[in-house]
Amino acid sequence: MLRLSNLALSPDYTETDLRNIILRKCGITPDQLLSFSIARRSVDARNRNDVRIILTVFIKVKNEQVLQKKCRFLSPVSGVPAFSVPESHFSFPPLVVGAGPAGLFAALTLARSGAAPVLIERGRPVEKRTQDVEKMSLDGLLDPESNVQFGEGGAGAFSDGKLTCGIKSPHLRTVLDTFVAHGAPESILVDSMPHIGTDRLKGVVASIRQEILSLGGTVLFGTRLEELLIRGGHLEGAILSCAGEKREFRTDTVLLCIGHSARDTVQSLFSQGIRMVQKPFAIGVRIEHPRVFIDRAQYGSFAGHPALGAASYKLVCHTPDRRGVYTFCMCPGGHVIAAASQPGGVVVNGMSYHARDAENSNSALLVGIHTEDFNDDHPLAGIVLQRQIEKAAFRAGGGNFRAPAQRVEDFLSDRATTAFGSVNPSYCPGVIPADLRAVLPDYVIQDLKKGLRSMNTQLTGFAMPDAVLTAPETRSSSPVRVLRNDSGESESISGLFPVGEGAGYAGGIVSAGIDGITAALKALDKSSLL
């Protein structure tokens, strides 16, 4: 089989069109082409008057070696190595803390080995407390009432199902194939920007969880990791709580897949001496435009073509202070959603259903945050900065988890918004017209202004007056990294495997899933040596 890349076709192309371009490109006759299949699909919209579909295809031909010598642009396709999971040798069932992408793929890999893992899915709050404590300090990084968490791998990590990934790994295909096997559309295997959608992803997650159960795993809902049991630097178990009751779980292997919002768990681990360091992250807003506007800005007269779908964008601006401004997690035809995990704080995120046909398109608009911005060398100081901004947003939104929002024109002119225009904010439970200077640090405000003006030259109309900025987006990544060694274990505790985005080693669904698989394999390797 050979790979043929960079085939440019009209969005209206047919299978016959594709066959003919393959024949013409390779200089072969129809009888020489045995079969072909699409390996990769992307959209080239650099020329809005001539939008093209760009395909990479796999072809089977007669006399393959002869054709490859003749056409140097053809490359052989090597088979994907079969992924096999080694047999488990654990003395006790391994505990996987968190059922986000890292936790699900870690638990699934362990289950396929016969390890009978126990997976903690925190899900809904274990205890619902609503009192907001205003005072924070580095000695008490979290409010005493911060038990209200949706972290430890809650489904918030799967809010949208965008599967773009910037890393190379032999497990990338495993993640995508697993999603497809559990109900995701097969298009994710070929699209350059694969997307499942919130509506379809819920069933996919439930199906993966069911496979874990069918292979002998256990899933504990509404359960929280309270404490690790450690002796002489080695893990001996964990204290778990459920419905207000605590119990001891005996294990010598814990895969920590808590996600980037389980702040109470992070603080508990830190207090037990688990080594952590500060990590840069990003803070900003969600920006919303009408979907049809973004479609036309990107695709011109091709906007609305069924082969193209809702348009996306990716914009970057370099700033004098070297923080940089960039768009992230762009949701064509989507919604701005609530992502708070503590009382008295507001956090926003974005999502799209599979159809991507909502009124607005939105994206995170983020400013890079350096560790120097934390103004403290405490390893968890970044969490304090996040929390301060989230609480300021809660106050600016007037309570009840409404979010402060501002028109772009007002934002650039340093005046509070009093009413919205042609763009209707999609955030639920609702927004309050506001001045975001009361929410975000001044250096973030100034860089967002620079970014908006610069990006308006990259995508005409990006800074349209009525576009809406909803704040704050503070959870694009973790501000903490839990240190681990080459064996994948914590530098502090043998048997503890920090995994995924919450541990500071991933930046999205696919990379977190890959890290979960990798961590599970390393834990299995260790079990075989015991």
**Digit-coded pLDDT (tens) for 306-322:** 999 999 999 999 999 99
The DSSP secondary-structure symbol of 436 reads: G
Q: What is the pLDDT of residue 123?
A: 53
Contact present, 253 and 527 (Cβ < 8 Å): yes
**CA gap 101, 465 in Å, rounded:** 38
Residue 126's pLDDT band (cuts 50, 70, 90):
very low
The residue type of 350 is G
- Length of the chain (residues): 530
Average pLDDT over residues 28-47: 95
Average pLDDT over residues 373-389: 96
- Which is nearest to 256 in space by CA: 244, 241, 233, 274? 274
Maximum pairwise Cα distance, the chain = 77
**CA gap 26, 71 in Å, rounded:** 7
Residues contacting residue 363 through CB under 8 Å, at least 6 positions apart: 286, 287, 313, 327, 328, 329, 330, 331, 350
Average pLDDT over residues 376-401: 95
- Strand, helix or coil for residue 235: strand
Q: Where are the alpha helices (DSSP H) in 440-508?
A: 442-458
H/E segment holding residue 348: strand 348-351
**CA gap 277, 266 in Å, rounded:** 12
Contact present, 434 and 406 (Cβ < 8 Å): yes
Q: Locate tokens 């999609």: which residue?
A: 426
For 283, how many CA atoms within 13 A lie in the half-sphere containing its CB? Answer: 30
- pLDDT > 50? residue 130: no
HEC sequence for 4-20: EEEEEECCCCCHHHHHH
Distances in Å between the Cα of 234 and the Cα atoms of 31, 494, 496, 525 are: 66, 5, 8, 17
Q: What is the pLDDT of residue 109?
A: 97
**CA gap 309, 294 in Å, rounded:** 11
Q: What is the pLDDT of residue 423?
A: 98
The CB-based long-range contact list for 36-44 (8 Å cut-off, 24+ gap) reads 36/60, 38/190, 39/3, 39/190, 40/5, 40/190, 40/192, 41/187, 41/190, 41/191, 41/192, 42/191, 42/192, 42/193, 43/192, 43/308, 44/8
**CA gap 345, 392 in Å, rounded:** 8
Measure the N-to-C terminal CA separation of the chain; round to a whole number of Å: 43
Q: What is the pLDDT of residue 155?
A: 57
**CA gap 382, 283 in Å, rounded:** 11
Question: pLDDT averaged over the chain?
Answer: 90
Contact present, 196 and 354 (Cβ < 8 Å): yes
Distances in Å between the Cα of 11 and the Cα atoms of 78, 102, 174, 182, 495 are: 29, 36, 30, 29, 52
Q: What is the pLDDT of residue 180?
A: 96
**CA gap 94, 85 in Å, rounded:** 15
**Digit-coded pLDDT (tens) for 327-353:** 999 999 999 999 988 889 999 999 999
Average pLDDT over residues 399-407: 95
Determine the angle formed by the axes of helices 172-181 and 509-529, rounding to 10 degrees: 110
> What structural domains does the chain harbor?
2-76 (3.30.70.2700), 95-278+478-529 (3.50.50.60), 281-473 (no CATH)
The residue type of 464 is M
Average pLDDT over residues 227-245: 93
Can you list the positions of beta strands (E) in 10-94?
A: 33-44, 52-61, 75-76
Burial class (CB in 10 A: 0-12, 13-18, 19+), 274: buried
Residue 159's pLDDT band (cuts 50, 70, 90):
low
Contact present, 444 and 411 (Cβ < 8 Å): no
- pLDDT > 90? residue 79: no
- pLDDT > 90? residue 141: no
- pLDDT > 50? residue 125: no
Burial class (CB in 10 A: 0-12, 13-18, 19+), 528: exposed
Examine residue 472 and say whether the peptide bond preceding it is cis (omega within 30 degrees of 0). yes
